[in-house]
Structure 1
Amino acid sequence: MSRFRLMSAAVLLIAATGAQASSFVVTTDTIVRALDASSNATSKISSSFHDDKIVLAARDDAASFVASKGEIRGAHLEGAFQHIREVSPSLNASDAQLAQAILAI
């Protein structure tokens, strides 16, 4: 009977280790995909609006927005968000991504 318990414990240990490894891989893949999507959105925004006066005027407000983690929302930044979303309606970017892209210009 003790040999059966030992074998059962070994099987459970192996199964648990495999589950943890696959969980780590799934989590890592999800994080990498999210970062890639964020990076792609930021690069599309910054390359499209690098000479847009409305967007360039919002750089200081964007810096305040990013530094305050979204607490400070200036009028220039709100105008730039609206302008960007009107010009590129298919762009699915959060306010934080837009602000970071404005700073990258």
Structure 2
Amino acid sequence: MSRKSLFGAALLLALTSTAQASSFVVTTDTVVRGVAASTDATSDASSSLRDKKIVEAARDDAASFVGSQGAIRGAKLESAFAHIREQVPTLQASDAQLAQAILAY
């Protein structure tokens, strides 16, 4: 083999291994991003389910609260109020408005 052919083969081999390494990095990054997105979506969905359960559990208490014009305050309703205000600290709603929103939910 001539020196020129040997150099050409070495150059081709170097370029091929670099391309494979780059391809591996891109593939790995894509897989990692996909797993991270899936994990985030699962986390969001399970926290949404937990939020929904807290609010749904307070429906009966909210009905009693609204029906009694605020005289009856159940523990589940108080928990829902605290949870909602924790999730949305800038919310400017009265307990009556929140109870009505829970009933509408």
TM-score class, shorter-chain normalisation, is 0.5 to 0.7
Aligned length: 70
- Residue 15 of structure 2 is aligned to residue 6 of structure 1: yes
- Which residue of structure 1 aligns with residue 38 of structure 2? 29
1:16 maps to 2:25: yes
32-41 vs 44-53, which moves further: 44-53
Percent identity of equivalent pairs: 20
TM-score normalised to structure 1 length: 0.55
Whose Rg is larger?
2
**Alpha-carbon spacing, 1:60–1:34, altered in 2? closer, same or farther (3 Å):** closer
CA distance in 2, matches of 1:8, 1:26: 27
Amino acid corresponding to residue 3 of structure 1 in structure 2: L
Moved segments of 4+, more than 6 Å: none
Alpha carbons of 1:3 and 1:51: their partners in 2 closer, same or farther (altered >3 Å)?
Answer: same
Cα deviation digits, residues 28-60 of structure 1 (max 9, x gap): 000000001011111111111123223445637
CA distance in 2, matches of 1:32, 1:57: 29
Q: Which 5+ residue runs of structure 1 have no aligned equivalent?
A: 69-101
1:65-104 alignment runs, 5 A limit:
65-66=86-87, 67=89
1:2 deviates by 1.3
Counterpart Cα distance in 2 of 1:60 and 1:7? 60
Alpha-carbon distance in structure 1 between the residues aligned to 2:17 and 2:78: 67
What secondary structure, in the 3-state scheme, does the structure 1 residue paired with 2:60 have?
coil
- Determine the C-alpha separation between the residues in 1 that align with 2:57 and 2:40: 26
For each residue in 1:73-95, what CA deviation from the matched residue of structure 2 results, as whole angstroms up to 9, or x when unmatched? xxxxxxxxxxxxxxxxxxxxxxx
TM-score, normalised via structure 2 length: 0.55
1:45 matches 2:54: yes
